[in-house]
Protein backbone atom coordinates (compact mmCIF):
# COMPACT_ATOMS: atom_id res chain seq x y z
CA UNK A 1 0.00 0.00 0.00
CA UNK A 2 2.82 2.41 0.86
CA UNK A 3 4.45 2.27 -2.57
CA UNK A 4 1.11 2.56 -4.36
CA UNK A 5 0.02 5.50 -2.19
CA UNK A 6 3.33 7.33 -2.47
CA UNK A 7 3.52 6.94 -6.25
CA UNK A 8 0.01 8.35 -6.82
CA UNK A 9 0.57 11.05 -4.17
CA UNK A 10 3.80 12.17 -5.90
CA UNK A 11 2.00 12.23 -9.26
CA UNK A 12 -0.81 14.41 -7.89
CA UNK A 13 1.62 16.78 -6.15
CA UNK A 14 3.36 17.39 -9.48
CA UNK A 15 0.11 17.79 -11.42
CA UNK A 16 -1.56 20.08 -8.89
CA UNK A 17 1.43 22.41 -8.57
CA UNK A 18 1.54 23.16 -12.30
CA UNK A 19 0.50 26.66 -13.47
CA UNK A 20 -3.28 26.98 -13.80
CA UNK A 21 -4.05 24.09 -11.45
CA UNK A 22 -5.25 26.42 -8.71
CA UNK A 23 -2.67 25.37 -6.12
CA UNK A 24 0.20 27.65 -5.13
CA UNK A 25 2.97 25.03 -4.97
CA UNK A 26 3.75 21.40 -4.07
CA UNK A 27 3.49 22.16 -0.35
CA UNK A 28 -0.08 23.42 -0.70
CA UNK A 29 -0.91 20.53 -3.04
CA UNK A 30 0.49 18.05 -0.49
CA UNK A 31 -1.59 19.60 2.29
CA UNK A 32 -4.76 19.39 0.17
CA UNK A 33 -4.35 15.77 -0.93
CA UNK A 34 -2.97 14.33 2.34
CA UNK A 35 -6.44 13.31 3.68
CA UNK A 36 -7.02 11.33 0.48
CA UNK A 37 -4.22 8.99 1.53
CA UNK A 38 -5.41 8.39 5.08
CA UNK A 39 -6.73 4.93 5.99
CA UNK A 40 -10.18 6.08 4.88
CA UNK A 41 -9.81 8.50 1.98
CA UNK A 42 -11.47 11.83 2.84
CA UNK A 43 -12.26 14.61 0.34
CA UNK A 44 -14.79 16.64 2.35
CA UNK A 45 -12.30 19.50 2.76
CA UNK A 46 -11.95 19.99 -1.01
CA UNK A 47 -14.00 22.40 -3.10
CA UNK A 48 -16.08 20.99 -5.96
CA UNK A 49 -13.76 22.41 -8.63
CA UNK A 50 -10.74 20.97 -6.79
CA UNK A 51 -12.36 17.53 -6.68
CA UNK A 52 -13.17 17.68 -10.38
CA UNK A 53 -9.63 18.75 -11.26
CA UNK A 54 -8.11 15.90 -9.24
CA UNK A 55 -10.56 13.42 -10.81
CA UNK A 56 -9.55 14.66 -14.25
CA UNK A 57 -5.86 14.06 -13.48
CA UNK A 58 -6.55 10.61 -12.03
CA UNK A 59 -8.42 9.67 -15.21
CA UNK A 60 -5.30 10.59 -17.22
CA UNK A 61 -2.67 8.78 -15.14
CA UNK A 62 -0.71 5.99 -16.88
CA UNK A 63 0.98 3.45 -14.59
CA UNK A 64 3.32 0.60 -15.62
CA UNK A 65 4.67 -2.38 -13.72
CA UNK A 66 7.48 -3.68 -16.02
CA UNK A 67 7.85 -6.96 -14.11
CA UNK A 68 4.29 -7.37 -12.90
CA UNK A 69 4.40 -11.06 -12.00
CA UNK A 70 0.92 -12.15 -10.94
CA UNK A 71 -0.28 -8.55 -10.65
CA UNK A 72 0.18 -7.55 -7.00
CA UNK A 73 1.03 -3.91 -7.71
CA UNK A 74 -1.54 -3.45 -10.53
CA UNK A 75 -4.26 -4.76 -8.20
CA UNK A 76 -3.08 -2.44 -5.43
CA UNK A 77 -3.27 0.47 -7.87
CA UNK A 78 -6.75 -0.58 -9.01
CA UNK A 79 -7.94 -0.63 -5.39
CA UNK A 80 -6.43 2.76 -4.52
CA UNK A 81 -7.62 4.54 -7.66
CA UNK A 82 -11.12 3.14 -7.07
CA UNK A 83 -11.02 4.42 -3.50
CA UNK A 84 -9.88 7.89 -4.62
CA UNK A 85 -12.53 8.17 -7.34
CA UNK A 86 -15.27 7.20 -4.90
CA UNK A 87 -14.03 9.64 -2.25
CA UNK A 88 -13.97 12.43 -4.84
CA UNK A 89 -17.60 11.78 -5.79
CA UNK A 90 -17.59 9.76 -9.02
CA UNK A 91 -21.05 8.95 -10.38
CA UNK A 92 -19.93 5.68 -11.98
CA UNK A 93 -20.87 2.24 -10.68
CA UNK A 94 -18.04 0.22 -9.11
CA UNK A 95 -17.98 -2.06 -12.16
CA UNK A 96 -17.79 0.80 -14.69
CA UNK A 97 -15.22 2.61 -12.56
CA UNK A 98 -12.88 -0.38 -12.27
CA UNK A 99 -13.30 -1.21 -15.94
CA UNK A 100 -12.38 2.37 -16.91
CA UNK A 101 -9.33 2.30 -14.61
CA UNK A 102 -8.14 -0.95 -16.18
CA UNK A 103 -8.79 0.46 -19.64
CA UNK A 104 -7.05 3.81 -19.20
CA UNK A 105 -4.63 3.71 -16.29
CA UNK A 106 -2.96 0.34 -15.63
CA UNK A 107 -0.40 -1.57 -17.72
CA UNK A 108 1.74 -4.60 -16.96
CA UNK A 109 4.56 -6.56 -18.60
CA UNK A 110 6.15 -9.82 -17.52
CA UNK A 111 8.43 -12.35 -19.17
CA UNK A 112 6.52 -15.37 -17.78
CA UNK A 113 3.32 -16.36 -19.68
CA UNK A 114 1.71 -17.96 -16.61
CA UNK A 115 2.31 -14.84 -14.50
CA UNK A 116 0.62 -12.68 -17.13
CA UNK A 117 -2.39 -15.03 -17.24
CA UNK A 118 -2.73 -14.85 -13.45
CA UNK A 119 -2.51 -11.04 -13.52
CA UNK A 120 -5.31 -10.90 -16.10
CA UNK A 121 -7.39 -13.35 -14.06
CA UNK A 122 -7.01 -11.26 -10.91
CA UNK A 123 -8.15 -8.17 -12.81
CA UNK A 124 -11.19 -10.01 -14.18
CA UNK A 125 -12.10 -11.35 -10.73
CA UNK A 126 -11.96 -7.85 -9.26
CA UNK A 127 -14.62 -6.88 -11.82
CA UNK A 128 -16.75 -10.01 -11.39
CA UNK A 129 -17.14 -9.17 -7.71
CA UNK A 130 -18.79 -5.88 -8.71
CA UNK A 131 -21.41 -7.47 -11.00
CA UNK A 132 -24.76 -8.79 -9.82
CA UNK A 133 -24.40 -12.11 -11.60
CA UNK A 134 -26.65 -15.05 -10.67
CA UNK A 135 -25.83 -18.55 -11.96
CA UNK A 136 -28.64 -20.26 -13.91
CA UNK A 137 -30.73 -17.07 -14.11
CA UNK A 138 -30.55 -15.99 -17.75
CA UNK A 139 -33.27 -13.36 -17.41
CA UNK A 140 -31.52 -11.65 -14.51
CA UNK A 141 -28.13 -11.88 -16.19
CA UNK A 142 -29.34 -10.44 -19.49
CA UNK A 143 -28.11 -6.94 -18.60
CA UNK A 144 -24.78 -8.04 -17.12
CA UNK A 145 -21.96 -6.47 -19.11
CA UNK A 146 -19.22 -8.63 -20.65
CA UNK A 147 -15.81 -8.65 -19.02
CA UNK A 148 -13.15 -6.63 -20.83
CA UNK A 149 -10.37 -8.19 -22.88
CA UNK A 150 -7.02 -7.65 -21.15
CA UNK A 151 -4.68 -9.02 -23.85
CA UNK A 152 -3.25 -5.54 -24.43
CA UNK A 153 -3.20 -4.44 -20.78
CA UNK A 154 -1.01 -7.23 -19.39
CA UNK A 155 1.44 -8.49 -22.00
CA UNK A 156 4.07 -11.22 -22.04
CA UNK A 157 7.31 -9.70 -23.30
CA UNK A 158 10.95 -9.06 -22.41
CA UNK A 159 10.86 -5.55 -20.91
CA UNK A 160 14.63 -5.08 -21.08
CA UNK A 161 15.08 -5.71 -24.81
CA UNK A 162 13.96 -2.84 -27.03
CA UNK A 163 13.34 -3.11 -30.75
CA UNK A 164 15.91 -0.93 -32.57
CA UNK A 165 14.24 1.96 -34.36
CA UNK A 166 16.22 2.11 -37.59
CA UNK A 167 13.88 4.47 -39.40
CA UNK A 168 13.73 2.39 -42.57
CA UNK A 169 10.11 1.24 -42.44
CA UNK A 170 8.55 4.57 -43.45
CA UNK A 171 4.86 5.38 -43.37
CA UNK A 172 3.67 1.82 -44.04
CA UNK A 173 4.38 0.62 -40.49
CA UNK A 174 3.19 3.92 -38.98
CA UNK A 175 -0.19 3.62 -40.70
CA UNK A 176 -0.55 0.07 -39.41
CA UNK A 177 0.38 1.22 -35.90
CA UNK A 178 -2.42 3.80 -35.95
CA UNK A 179 -4.84 1.08 -36.98
CA UNK A 180 -3.36 -1.20 -34.30
CA UNK A 181 -4.03 1.44 -31.63
CA UNK A 182 -7.66 1.89 -32.74
CA UNK A 183 -8.30 -1.85 -32.89
CA UNK A 184 -6.80 -2.60 -29.45
CA UNK A 185 -8.91 0.13 -27.85
CA UNK A 186 -12.05 -1.31 -29.45
CA UNK A 187 -11.00 -4.83 -28.45
CA UNK A 188 -10.95 -3.96 -24.73
CA UNK A 189 -14.76 -3.57 -24.58
CA UNK A 190 -15.70 -5.98 -27.38
CA UNK A 191 -18.45 -8.57 -26.96
CA UNK A 192 -17.75 -12.22 -27.77
CA UNK A 193 -18.80 -11.88 -31.41
CA UNK A 194 -16.97 -8.59 -31.94
CA UNK A 195 -13.92 -9.96 -30.14
CA UNK A 196 -13.36 -12.71 -32.74
CA UNK A 197 -13.58 -10.27 -35.66
CA UNK A 198 -11.37 -7.65 -33.98
CA UNK A 199 -8.82 -10.25 -32.96
CA UNK A 200 -8.49 -11.40 -36.55
CA UNK A 201 -8.01 -7.78 -37.65
CA UNK A 202 -5.41 -7.18 -34.94
CA UNK A 203 -3.54 -10.36 -35.93
CA UNK A 204 -3.51 -9.20 -39.55
CA UNK A 205 -2.21 -5.82 -38.43
CA UNK A 206 0.54 -7.43 -36.34
CA UNK A 207 1.52 -9.67 -39.26
CA UNK A 208 1.69 -6.66 -41.59
CA UNK A 209 3.87 -4.69 -39.16
CA UNK A 210 6.12 -7.72 -38.69
CA UNK A 211 6.39 -8.38 -42.43
CA UNK A 212 7.17 -4.73 -43.22
CA UNK A 213 10.10 -4.88 -40.83
CA UNK A 214 11.21 -8.29 -42.02
CA UNK A 215 11.27 -7.16 -45.66
CA UNK A 216 13.31 -4.12 -44.74
CA UNK A 217 15.72 -6.31 -42.76
CA UNK A 218 16.04 -8.71 -45.72
CA UNK A 219 16.90 -5.79 -48.01
CA UNK A 220 19.64 -4.75 -45.62
CA UNK A 221 20.95 -8.31 -45.52
CA UNK A 222 21.14 -8.38 -49.33
CA UNK A 223 22.99 -5.07 -49.27
CA UNK A 224 25.41 -6.46 -46.69
CA UNK A 225 26.02 -9.53 -48.87
CA UNK A 226 26.88 -7.30 -51.84
CA UNK A 227 29.22 -5.23 -49.71
CA UNK A 228 30.89 -8.38 -48.39
CA UNK A 229 31.49 -9.59 -51.93
CA UNK A 230 33.43 -6.41 -52.73
CA UNK A 231 34.83 -5.47 -49.30
CA UNK A 232 38.34 -5.91 -48.08
CA UNK A 233 38.80 -8.68 -45.52
CA UNK A 234 39.25 -6.08 -42.77
CA UNK A 235 35.59 -5.08 -43.17
CA UNK A 236 34.19 -8.59 -43.22
CA UNK A 237 33.94 -8.90 -39.44
CA UNK A 238 31.94 -5.69 -39.21
CA UNK A 239 29.68 -6.91 -42.01
CA UNK A 240 29.16 -10.20 -40.19
CA UNK A 241 28.22 -8.43 -36.94
CA UNK A 242 25.74 -6.25 -38.81
CA UNK A 243 24.16 -9.29 -40.45
CA UNK A 244 23.86 -11.08 -37.09
CA UNK A 245 22.13 -7.98 -35.70
CA UNK A 246 19.55 -7.97 -38.49
CA UNK A 247 18.97 -11.71 -38.16
CA UNK A 248 18.33 -11.18 -34.44
CA UNK A 249 15.83 -8.43 -35.29
CA UNK A 250 14.09 -10.81 -37.69
CA UNK A 251 13.63 -13.35 -34.89
CA UNK A 252 12.33 -10.62 -32.59
CA UNK A 253 9.76 -9.47 -35.12
CA UNK A 254 8.66 -13.05 -35.66
CA UNK A 255 8.08 -13.35 -31.90
CA UNK A 256 5.78 -10.31 -32.08
CA UNK A 257 3.13 -12.70 -33.40
CA UNK A 258 3.14 -14.45 -30.00
CA UNK A 259 0.85 -11.83 -28.46
CA UNK A 260 -2.26 -14.00 -28.91
CA UNK A 261 -0.80 -17.45 -28.24
CA UNK A 262 0.33 -17.10 -24.61
CA UNK A 263 4.02 -17.05 -25.50
CA UNK A 264 6.66 -14.43 -24.84
CA UNK A 265 7.50 -11.67 -27.28
CA UNK A 266 11.29 -11.25 -27.26
CA UNK A 267 11.25 -7.46 -27.05
CA UNK A 268 9.19 -4.62 -25.63
CA UNK A 269 8.46 -1.15 -26.94
CA UNK A 270 5.57 1.08 -25.84
CA UNK A 271 4.78 1.90 -29.45
CA UNK A 272 4.08 -1.71 -30.37
CA UNK A 273 2.34 -2.87 -27.18
CA UNK A 274 0.61 0.16 -25.63
CA UNK A 275 0.21 2.59 -28.57
CA UNK A 276 -2.29 4.74 -26.62
CA UNK A 277 0.53 5.72 -24.22
CA UNK A 278 1.82 8.52 -26.39
CA UNK A 279 4.33 10.39 -24.25
CA UNK A 280 5.38 7.81 -21.68
CA UNK A 281 4.13 6.78 -18.26
CA UNK A 282 3.33 8.92 -15.23
CA UNK A 283 4.36 6.20 -12.78
CA UNK A 284 6.60 3.13 -13.01
CA UNK A 285 6.22 0.85 -10.01
CA UNK A 286 7.31 -2.67 -9.18
CA UNK A 287 9.50 -5.30 -7.60
CA UNK A 288 11.82 -6.41 -10.43
CA UNK A 289 13.61 -9.76 -10.18
CA UNK A 290 16.92 -10.01 -8.32
CA UNK A 291 18.98 -12.19 -10.68
CA UNK A 292 22.75 -12.01 -11.03
CA UNK A 293 23.94 -11.50 -14.59
CA UNK A 294 26.48 -14.32 -14.28
CA UNK A 295 23.97 -17.00 -13.30
CA UNK A 296 23.22 -19.80 -15.77
CA UNK A 297 26.72 -19.51 -17.25
CA UNK A 298 26.30 -15.79 -17.88
CA UNK A 299 23.24 -16.14 -20.13
CA UNK A 300 21.73 -12.80 -19.06
CA UNK A 301 25.11 -11.06 -19.22
CA UNK A 302 25.47 -12.10 -22.87
CA UNK A 303 21.85 -11.37 -23.77
CA UNK A 304 21.85 -7.85 -22.32
CA UNK A 305 25.41 -6.63 -22.94
CA UNK A 306 24.46 -4.97 -26.22
CA UNK A 307 21.08 -3.65 -25.07
CA UNK A 308 22.41 -0.13 -24.50
CA UNK A 309 22.09 0.15 -20.71
CA UNK A 310 24.45 2.50 -18.86
CA UNK A 311 23.88 0.46 -15.70
CA UNK A 312 24.96 -2.82 -17.31
CA UNK A 313 27.67 -4.55 -15.28
CA UNK A 314 28.68 -8.10 -16.11
CA UNK A 315 29.02 -8.86 -12.39
CA UNK A 316 25.84 -6.98 -11.55
CA UNK A 317 22.16 -7.73 -11.10
CA UNK A 318 19.31 -7.46 -13.58
CA UNK A 319 17.24 -5.16 -11.33
CA UNK A 320 19.71 -2.32 -12.06
CA UNK A 321 18.64 -2.42 -15.71
CA UNK A 322 14.98 -2.35 -14.69
CA UNK A 323 15.64 0.91 -12.83
CA UNK A 324 17.15 2.42 -15.97
CA UNK A 325 14.35 1.02 -18.14
CA UNK A 326 11.83 2.69 -15.82
CA UNK A 327 13.36 6.12 -16.36
CA UNK A 328 13.45 5.53 -20.13
CA UNK A 329 9.68 4.99 -20.36
CA UNK A 330 8.66 7.74 -17.92
CA UNK A 331 7.47 11.19 -18.89
CA UNK A 332 9.58 14.13 -17.67
CA UNK A 333 8.93 14.79 -13.94
CA UNK A 334 7.16 11.42 -13.61
CA UNK A 335 7.48 9.05 -10.63
CA UNK A 336 9.64 5.92 -10.25
CA UNK A 337 9.01 3.58 -7.27
CA UNK A 338 10.77 0.20 -6.87
CA UNK A 339 11.49 -2.22 -4.08
CA UNK A 340 14.72 -4.14 -4.78
CA UNK A 341 17.75 -5.73 -3.18
CA UNK A 342 19.92 -3.23 -1.28
CA UNK A 343 23.21 -4.48 -2.76
CA UNK A 344 23.43 -1.52 -5.16
CA UNK A 345 23.91 0.87 -2.22
CA UNK A 346 27.53 -0.20 -1.64
CA UNK A 347 28.54 -2.91 -4.12
CA UNK A 348 31.05 -2.11 -6.85
CA UNK A 349 28.59 -3.18 -9.54
CA UNK A 350 26.11 -0.63 -8.16
CA UNK A 351 28.32 2.35 -8.99
CA UNK A 352 26.82 2.87 -12.44
CA UNK A 353 23.33 2.69 -10.92
CA UNK A 354 24.25 5.18 -8.19
CA UNK A 355 25.51 7.52 -10.93
CA UNK A 356 22.19 7.16 -12.72
CA UNK A 357 20.27 8.10 -9.57
CA UNK A 358 22.50 11.14 -9.05
CA UNK A 359 21.51 12.32 -12.55
CA UNK A 360 17.81 11.96 -11.58
CA UNK A 361 15.95 13.22 -8.52
CA UNK A 362 15.77 10.57 -5.78
CA UNK A 363 13.36 11.69 -3.06
CA UNK A 364 13.01 8.92 -0.47
CA UNK A 365 15.10 5.86 0.36
CA UNK A 366 13.86 3.34 2.91
CA UNK A 367 16.24 0.56 3.97
CA UNK A 368 14.39 -2.57 5.05
CA UNK A 369 16.76 -4.52 7.25
CA UNK A 370 17.08 -8.32 7.54
CA UNK A 371 14.07 -10.37 8.56
CA UNK A 372 11.46 -7.83 7.45
CA UNK A 373 9.79 -10.23 5.02
CA UNK A 374 9.46 -13.98 5.48
CA UNK A 375 10.05 -14.62 1.76
CA UNK A 376 13.00 -12.22 1.36
CA UNK A 377 16.48 -13.73 1.66
CA UNK A 378 18.29 -10.42 1.07
CA UNK A 379 18.08 -6.93 2.54
CA UNK A 380 15.75 -4.75 0.51
CA UNK A 381 15.00 -1.07 0.00
CA UNK A 382 12.30 1.16 -1.41
CA UNK A 383 13.43 4.06 -3.58
CA UNK A 384 11.11 6.83 -4.73
CA UNK A 385 12.54 9.07 -7.45
CA UNK A 386 11.39 11.51 -10.12
CA UNK A 387 12.49 11.68 -13.73
CA UNK A 388 13.99 15.15 -13.47
CA UNK A 389 17.27 16.86 -12.58
CA UNK A 390 18.58 16.18 -9.09
CA UNK A 391 17.27 18.72 -6.57
CA UNK A 392 19.27 17.21 -3.68
CA UNK A 393 16.09 16.44 -1.76
CA UNK A 394 16.92 12.84 -0.86
CA UNK A 395 15.84 11.68 2.58
CA UNK A 396 16.41 8.26 4.09
CA UNK A 397 15.07 6.06 6.84
CA UNK A 398 15.90 2.62 8.23
CA UNK A 399 13.25 0.10 9.26
CA UNK A 400 14.58 -1.81 12.26
CA UNK A 401 11.42 -3.51 13.57
CA UNK A 402 9.10 -5.78 11.55
CA UNK A 403 6.01 -4.03 12.95
CA UNK A 404 7.14 -0.79 11.26
CA UNK A 405 6.51 -2.38 7.84
CA UNK A 406 2.78 -1.82 8.22
CA UNK A 407 3.18 1.89 8.92
CA UNK A 408 5.99 3.18 6.70
CA UNK A 409 4.30 6.56 6.31
CA UNK A 410 5.08 7.31 9.97
CA UNK A 411 8.86 6.81 9.61
CA UNK A 412 11.24 9.60 10.56
CA UNK A 413 13.48 10.59 7.64
CA UNK A 414 17.03 11.96 7.67
CA UNK A 415 18.42 14.26 4.95
CA UNK A 416 21.04 12.53 2.78
CA UNK A 417 23.01 15.37 1.16
CA UNK A 418 26.27 13.41 1.27
CA UNK A 419 25.55 10.62 -1.24
CA UNK A 420 27.91 10.18 -4.17
CA UNK A 421 28.74 7.56 -6.77
CA UNK A 422 30.95 5.62 -4.34
CA UNK A 423 28.30 4.50 -1.87
CA UNK A 424 25.09 5.49 -0.17
CA UNK A 425 24.34 5.08 3.51
CA UNK A 426 21.39 6.18 5.64
CA UNK A 427 22.85 7.74 8.78
CA UNK A 428 21.41 9.55 11.76
CA UNK A 429 22.81 13.08 12.38
CA UNK A 430 25.52 11.88 14.80
CA UNK A 431 26.70 9.05 12.53
CA UNK A 432 26.58 11.41 9.56
CA UNK A 433 28.80 13.91 11.40
CA UNK A 434 31.32 11.21 12.32
CA UNK A 435 31.29 9.89 8.76
CA UNK A 436 32.01 13.35 7.34
CA UNK A 437 34.96 13.85 9.73
CA UNK A 438 36.44 10.47 8.80
CA UNK A 439 36.07 11.26 5.09
CA UNK A 440 37.65 14.69 5.57
CA UNK A 441 40.71 13.48 7.49
CA UNK A 442 41.01 9.83 6.50
CA UNK A 443 42.25 8.14 3.36
CA UNK A 444 39.80 5.81 1.57
CA UNK A 445 40.94 2.21 1.36
CA UNK A 446 40.81 2.34 -2.45
CA UNK A 447 43.58 4.97 -2.41
CA UNK A 448 45.95 2.94 -0.26
CA UNK A 449 48.78 1.23 -2.12
CA UNK A 450 47.72 -2.23 -1.03
CA UNK A 451 46.60 -5.41 -2.70
CA UNK A 452 43.55 -7.30 -1.44
CA UNK A 453 43.33 -10.99 -2.30
CA UNK A 454 41.09 -13.94 -1.58
CA UNK A 455 42.36 -16.83 0.42
CA UNK A 456 42.72 -20.20 -1.29
CA UNK A 457 39.66 -21.82 -2.82
CA UNK A 458 40.25 -25.53 -3.29
CA UNK A 459 36.70 -26.41 -4.28
CA UNK A 460 36.87 -29.48 -2.02
CA UNK A 461 38.73 -29.03 1.26
CA UNK A 462 38.19 -32.66 2.26
CA UNK A 463 40.78 -33.66 -0.36
CA UNK A 464 43.24 -30.77 -0.36
CA UNK A 465 43.49 -29.95 3.36
CA UNK A 466 45.16 -32.71 5.36
CA UNK A 467 46.34 -33.26 8.93
CA UNK A 468 49.82 -33.97 10.31
CA UNK A 469 49.40 -37.75 10.13
CA UNK A 470 48.47 -37.72 6.42
CA UNK A 471 51.34 -35.29 5.67
CA UNK A 472 53.87 -37.63 7.29
CA UNK A 473 52.38 -40.62 5.47
CA UNK A 474 52.70 -38.92 2.05
CA UNK A 475 56.27 -37.72 2.69
CA UNK A 476 57.31 -41.15 3.96
CA UNK A 477 55.96 -42.73 0.77
CA UNK A 478 57.57 -40.06 -1.47
CA UNK A 479 59.92 -37.41 -0.06
CA UNK A 480 59.12 -35.05 -2.97
CA UNK A 481 55.60 -34.65 -1.53
CA UNK A 482 57.02 -32.11 0.95
CA UNK A 483 57.59 -29.68 -1.96
CA UNK A 484 53.85 -29.15 -2.49
CA UNK A 485 52.53 -29.48 1.07
CA UNK A 486 52.37 -26.25 3.09
CA UNK A 487 50.98 -25.00 6.37
CA UNK A 488 47.47 -23.58 6.01
CA UNK A 489 45.25 -21.37 8.15
CA UNK A 490 41.52 -21.87 7.86
CA UNK A 491 38.86 -19.27 8.68
CA UNK A 492 38.25 -20.93 12.04
CA UNK A 493 41.95 -20.42 12.92
CA UNK A 494 41.75 -16.62 12.64
CA UNK A 495 41.02 -15.02 15.99
CA UNK A 496 40.79 -11.40 17.04
CA UNK A 497 44.34 -9.96 16.66
CA UNK A 498 46.09 -13.35 16.35
CA UNK A 499 45.95 -16.71 14.59
CA UNK A 500 45.77 -20.15 16.16
CA UNK A 501 47.08 -22.79 13.76
CA UNK A 502 45.14 -26.02 14.15
CA UNK A 503 47.59 -28.42 12.51
CA UNK A 504 46.27 -28.18 8.96
CA UNK A 505 48.28 -28.58 5.76
CA UNK A 506 47.41 -27.75 2.15
CA UNK A 507 48.27 -29.74 -0.96
CA UNK A 508 49.35 -26.69 -2.98
CA UNK A 509 48.70 -27.80 -6.54
CA UNK A 510 47.84 -24.28 -7.70
CA UNK A 511 47.08 -23.98 -11.44
CA UNK A 512 49.50 -21.05 -11.64
CA UNK A 513 52.36 -23.42 -10.70
CA UNK A 514 51.68 -25.75 -13.68
CA UNK A 515 52.48 -28.74 -11.48
CA UNK A 516 53.47 -32.01 -13.17
CA UNK A 517 51.54 -34.35 -10.89
CA UNK A 518 53.38 -37.42 -12.23
CA UNK A 519 56.47 -36.23 -10.29
CA UNK A 520 54.56 -36.52 -7.01
CA UNK A 521 53.39 -40.12 -7.04
CA UNK A 522 52.17 -40.34 -3.44
CA UNK A 523 50.11 -37.14 -3.70
CA UNK A 524 48.70 -38.23 -7.06
CA UNK A 525 47.65 -41.61 -5.68
CA UNK A 526 46.06 -39.92 -2.66
CA UNK A 527 44.08 -37.40 -4.74
CA UNK A 528 42.89 -40.13 -7.13
CA UNK A 529 40.91 -41.53 -4.19
CA UNK A 530 38.61 -38.49 -4.49
CA UNK A 531 37.79 -38.97 -8.16
CA UNK A 532 35.41 -38.22 -9.79
CA UNK A 533 34.38 -35.75 -7.06
CA UNK A 534 37.37 -33.43 -7.62
CA UNK A 535 37.01 -33.25 -11.39
CA UNK A 536 36.48 -29.63 -12.42
CA UNK A 537 33.63 -30.25 -14.87
CA UNK A 538 30.48 -29.31 -12.93
CA UNK A 539 28.95 -32.65 -13.93
CA UNK A 540 26.84 -34.98 -11.81
CA UNK A 541 27.75 -38.59 -10.97
CA UNK A 542 26.51 -41.49 -8.85
CA UNK A 543 28.70 -42.14 -5.79
CA UNK A 544 29.44 -45.49 -4.13
CA UNK A 545 26.30 -45.20 -1.98
CA UNK A 546 24.18 -44.78 -5.11
CA UNK A 547 23.49 -41.09 -4.45
CA UNK A 548 23.80 -38.28 -6.98
CA UNK A 549 26.65 -35.82 -6.43
CA UNK A 550 28.18 -32.94 -8.37
CA UNK A 551 31.86 -32.49 -9.13
CA UNK A 552 33.67 -29.22 -8.50
CA UNK A 553 32.47 -26.29 -10.62
CA UNK A 554 33.54 -26.22 -14.25
CA UNK A 555 36.93 -24.56 -14.85
CA UNK A 556 39.78 -24.90 -17.31
CA UNK A 557 42.00 -26.38 -14.60
CA UNK A 558 43.15 -29.99 -14.16
CA UNK A 559 41.52 -32.50 -11.84
CA UNK A 560 44.37 -32.44 -9.28
CA UNK A 561 44.65 -28.63 -9.11
CA UNK A 562 42.93 -26.23 -6.73
CA UNK A 563 39.84 -24.45 -7.97
CA UNK A 564 41.41 -20.99 -8.38
CA UNK A 565 44.79 -20.22 -10.04
CA UNK A 566 46.28 -18.38 -6.99
CA UNK A 567 48.67 -16.36 -9.15
CA UNK A 568 49.43 -14.21 -6.11
CA UNK A 569 50.74 -17.20 -4.09
CA UNK A 570 54.03 -15.44 -3.23
CA UNK A 571 52.09 -12.75 -1.34
CA UNK A 572 51.20 -15.29 1.35
CA UNK A 573 54.80 -15.30 2.59
CA UNK A 574 54.92 -11.51 2.95
CA UNK A 575 53.85 -9.17 5.74
CA UNK A 576 50.06 -8.87 5.69
CA UNK A 577 46.77 -8.48 7.52
CA UNK A 578 44.44 -11.44 7.28
CA UNK A 579 40.78 -11.57 8.20
CA UNK A 580 37.81 -13.88 8.28
CA UNK A 581 35.19 -12.54 5.90
CA UNK A 582 32.28 -14.79 6.89
CA UNK A 583 30.82 -14.62 10.38
CA UNK A 584 29.01 -12.37 12.82
CA UNK A 585 32.27 -10.77 14.05
CA UNK A 586 35.11 -9.14 12.13
CA UNK A 587 38.43 -10.74 13.09
CA UNK A 588 41.69 -9.23 11.88
CA UNK A 589 45.17 -10.60 12.50
CA UNK A 590 48.69 -9.45 11.61
CA UNK A 591 50.91 -12.04 9.95
Closest CA to 164 of 266, 263, 300, 280: 266
pLDDT digits (tens, 9 = 90+) for 126-171: 988 876 555 555 545 445 566 677 888 899 999 999 976 555 555 5
Please determine, for residue 482, whether its predicted confidence score (pLDDT) is greater than 90. yes
Nearest Cα neighbor of 65 from 149, 143, 4, 141 is 4
CA-to-CA distance for 50 and 21, rounded, in angstroms? Answer: 9
**What is the percent of the chain with per-residue pLDDT over 90, rounded to a whole number?**
44
pLDDT tens-digit map of 167-205? 555 555 667 777 777 887 787 667 767 878 888 888 888
Q: What is the pLDDT of residues 429-478, one digit of tens each?
A: 777 788 778 888 888 777 888 888 888 899 999 999 999 999 999 999 99
DSSP H or E run through 70: none
Give the pLDDT confidence score for residue 134 in this predicted structure.
55
Q: Are 253 and 213 in contact (CB under 8 A)?
A: yes
Q: What are the CA-CA distances from residue 55 to residues 40, 61, 164, 274 (Å)?
A: 17, 10, 37, 23
Work out the average pLDDT over 231-259: 73
What's the whole-number average pLDDT of the chain?
A: 85
pLDDT level of residue 323 (50, 70, 90 thresholds): very high
Where do the CATH 3.40.50.150 domains begin and end in the chain? 293-444
294 secondary structure, DSSP code: T
Phi/psi at 326 (nearest 5 deg)? -55, -45
Helix (H, G, I), strand (E, B) or coil at 579: strand
pLDDT tens-digit readout, 11-68: 999 998 888 777 778 888 899 899 999 888 888 999 999 999 999 999 999 999 999 9
pLDDT digit string, tens, across residues 543-552: 989 999 999 9
The residue that leads in pLDDT, 194 or 350, is 350
Task: Please state, as a whole number, how many other Cβ atoms lie within 10 Å of the Cβ of residue 43.
Answer: 18
Spell out a b/e string for 9-34, using b for 16 or more CB atoms within 10 Å of the CB, else e. Answer: bbbbbbbbbeeeeebeeeeebbebbe
C-beta of residue 420 within 8 angstroms of C-beta of residue 375: no
**pLDDT for residue 518 is more than 90:** yes
pLDDT of residue 142: 47
DSSP tag of 318: H
Of 488, 374, 365, the closest CA to residue 426 belongs to 365
pTM to 2 decimal places: 0.74
CA distance linking residue 290 with residue 318, whole number of Å: 6
Q: 398 near 372, Cβ under 8 Å?
A: no
Third-level CATH fold of 293-444: Rossmann fold (3.40.50)
pLDDT at 239 over 60: yes
* Residue 437 parent element (H or E): helix 429-441
Amino acid sequence: DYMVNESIRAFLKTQLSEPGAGFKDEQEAEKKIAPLFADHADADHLKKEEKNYILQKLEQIKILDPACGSGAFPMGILHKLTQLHEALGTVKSSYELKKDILSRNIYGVDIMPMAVEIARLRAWLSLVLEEDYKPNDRVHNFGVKPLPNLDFKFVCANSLIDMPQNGYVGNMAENNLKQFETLTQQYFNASTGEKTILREEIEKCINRISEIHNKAIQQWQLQIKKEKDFSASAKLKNMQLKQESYERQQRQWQSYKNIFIEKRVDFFNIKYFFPSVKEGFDVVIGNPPYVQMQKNNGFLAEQLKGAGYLTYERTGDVYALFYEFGFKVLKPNAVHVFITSSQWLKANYGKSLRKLFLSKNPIKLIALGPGMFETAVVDTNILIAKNEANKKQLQGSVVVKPEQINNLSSLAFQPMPYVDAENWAILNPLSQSINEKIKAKGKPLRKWEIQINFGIKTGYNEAFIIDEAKRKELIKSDAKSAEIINLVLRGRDIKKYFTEWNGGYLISTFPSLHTDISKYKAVKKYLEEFLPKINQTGETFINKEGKTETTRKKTAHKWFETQDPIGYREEFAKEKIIWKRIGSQLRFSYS
